[in-house]
Structure 1
Amino acid sequence: MPPITARTKETADETRERIARTADELFRRMGYAKTAVADIAAELGMSPANVYRFFPSKNAIVEAICTRCLVEMENEIRVISAKPLTARERIFELFRAILIYHRDNFISERRLHDMVLVAIESNWDAILAHKLRIAAGIEALLAEGIEEGAFVPHDAAAASQIMLGAMVRFCHPILIAESIDEDLESQLQAALAFILRSVEVQRTPL
């Protein structure tokens, strides 16, 4: 058998990921505004010029972090969508998961607030694509609810967009941060129950 040799050289993607993760840790520890590319480079034991080889700016690093967070959230939503629950129950779980993700991140890492603002401004295309994928997931659940007989027939695509717009207070990280001391989970439950009532089949009591 040929001898086993250890691979010591990182690929470009691995280096980019290491830079992004180190930057994320520093943003959480020091705050976005107080963290310079030089600080990130020093933490990694490399020169700022080397960091700039992989990311043209600090905002570009934020975009990479933001993209990873969006992927994490979408993976969680896919897990919820596959649960053996009714469509209605999964819609509630989906919105609750989004709220908890943003709420808990803000509570534990308030220093990331500035980074979130930058991410929203500089990574809008990725965030818009993320919103479209979330809307598609809600549309699929509404369609399932129609098939189950729980929802009346309706345009699930249009309804998903309306629902996302009406529930933005519980999905947007900035709006969640502004109401962080309120009982947002209870408010979400009440708001979503009210919205879903417009498409739910009303059962006539026997």
Structure 2
Amino acid sequence: MAPRSKQTPDEIRDQIAKVAEDLFRRMGFTKTAVADIAAELGMSPANVYRFFPSKHAIVECICSRCLGEMEAEIRRVQQQDLPVRTRIHAVFQTILRNHLDNFIEERRVHEMVLVAIEHNWQNILAHRERIRTTTAQLLREGIADGSFALHDPEEVSAIFLDCCARFCHPVLVAQSAEEELDKGLQRTIDFLLKAIEPRD
């Protein structure tokens, strides 16, 4: 379907990215050409290149959107009226579930994930830092309400992310069974929280 003439450039970019993602999921990144994306949109390949210089640039756009959606979910979890321990568990479960739902269950998307990691590394690092900051904020809440012993939330939040890398990195997630990941994440978070419990 051709984009409406009154669409803004941002709307056209978004439409191109959504159509491309659908094709990547159905056909795979390698087998999808810019000409395929253009044909699906009813426009010329040259018009697609007006908005994205390459297929890799389209993947970067898709990756940034997916990360933004995940972060929005995490913010909702963070703001829930639940015990801080429950919210920390839920934050990392949200990350794992996003990788399982959006990437791992559709194997054709796996190559797109690899491309995104290679070409969008700075945005992924920024995303990781935002997750760490969210974890640090929750740890501060736990210190304030007596759930956790006094510690450095900046340092401990980094430890949380390092220990949970297996459950937060799509390539590593793809190497394990879903049930194993769920149980492993639960045990890891429980262990880390135990380490910062107040001592009598």
Shift of 1:181: 5.1
In 1: Cα distance, 2:117 partner to 2:104 partner:
19
SS, match of residue 53 in structure 2 = coil
Give CA-to-partner distance per residue, 1:170-206, whole Å, 9 cap, x none.
000000001135521111101111111111114x5xx
Q: Deviations over 1:123-175 (max 9, x none)?
A: 01111110111000000000000001010010001100111011100000000
Q: Which amino acid aligns with 1:88?
A: R
Equivalent residue pairs, number: 197
Q: Which amino acid aligns with 2:93?
A: R
Residue 81 of structure 1 deviates from its aligned partner by 0.2
Structure 1 vs Structure 2 CA RMSD: 1.2
1:201 aligned partner, one-letter code:
P
- What displacement does 1:107 show? 4.4
Bigger Rg, structure 1 or 2: 1
Give distance in 2, aligned partners of 1:56 and 1:49.
10
Counterpart selection for 2:91 from 83, 94, 103: 94
Identity of paired residues, percent?
57
Amino acid in structure 1 at the alignment position of 2:25? R
Q: In structure 2, what is the equivalent of residue 150 of structure 1? A: 147
Residue 194 of structure 2 is matched in structure 1 by 197
Moved more, 57-66 or 193-202: 193-202
Q: Which runs of 4+ in 1 moved over 4 A?
A: none
Q: Distance in 1 between matches of 2:178 and 2:92?
A: 19
* Distance in 1 (alpha carbons) for counterparts of 2:17 and 2:10: 11
User: Structure 1 residue 123 and structure 2 residue 98: aligned?
Assistant: no
Matched, 1:69 2:94: no
What TM-score do you get using the length of structure 2 for normalisation? Answer: 0.95
Structure 1 letter corresponding to 2:141: E
Contact kept, 8 Å, 1:151 with 1:199, in 2: the verdict is yes
